[in-house]
Amino acid sequence: MNGLFALVPYLVAGWILLVGMYGLVTSRNLVHAVGCLAVAQSATYVLLLSVGFRRGGTAPVFSDTSPHTVVVDPVVQALTLTDVVVGATVTALLLALVLQLHKRHGTVDPDHLNSLRG
């Protein structure tokens, strides 16, 4: 039974990714598509944090713990924080591009952007 509960974070991360990808594929609005991409990226947060989780682990401060104490992995916590910052930056950049697209073409519907076709 314990093995089944160990799979739950991975299943949740997969479900969040699928929901974000479904919204991205079915979106008819570029702002909605950017939001769905941000949701899909949030699956990586769940995945990274579940990889670094250790049951019964303490904070990785080694000055007051013995060498045999179980601690959580600080590397994946740092990677998750970096992922959050990069995700926010990419989302802001994409929303700025959508705003410029709306200013120049008057729409954010990909089907109505005929002037961008080559």
Rounded Cα distance between 117 and 32, Å, is 21
Instruction: Enumerate the H helices of the chain as residue ranges.
Output: 2-26, 30-52, 74-105
Q: Give pLDDT tens digits for 2-57.
A: 677 778 889 999 999 999 999 999 999 999 999 999 999 999 999 988 888 777 77
Q: Give pLDDT tens digits for 79-101.
A: 999 999 999 999 999 999 999 99
Amino acid at 80: T
Query: In a 10 Å sphere around its CB, with 0-12 CB exposed, 13-18 middle and 19+ buried, how is residue 100 labelled?
Result: exposed
Q: How many domains does the chain have?
A: 1
Rounded Cα distance between 70 and 79, Å, is 20
CATH number reported for the structural domain that contains residue 28 in this entry: 1.10.287.3510
- Write out the residue range of the structural domain in which residue 58 sits: 2-116
Pull the structure tokens for residue 59: 């904070």
pTM of the model: 0.81
